[in-house]
Structure 1
């Protein structure tokens, strides 16, 4: 992810990996609540990681 700040790059990678787990869960027939929780957790974790990286700089 060239050109992006390090904190944003890490946050996007984190969100992407958690969302990938959610997509796999959806494909194998996991309950919708579990998949939705995975997506929300990914967004929250990515936002926290991004904000934490901005504070360090």
Structure 2
């Protein structure tokens, strides 16, 4: 005989938890160079990030 555990869990929907909005309510954002500009990472900082990271690959913005 299989024992089943009856639990009632009410979890809020993912969209509510992440504060998502429907696409028709979202206003478009005009991209500018200041919004899309990345940060300069020096060679010393890059090697420091690689040494502290367990992964072999680092994704830089």
The TM-score with structure 1 as length reference comes to 0.22
Which of the pair has more CA radius of gyration?
Answer: 2
Q: Per residue, is there more helix in 1 or in 2? A: 1
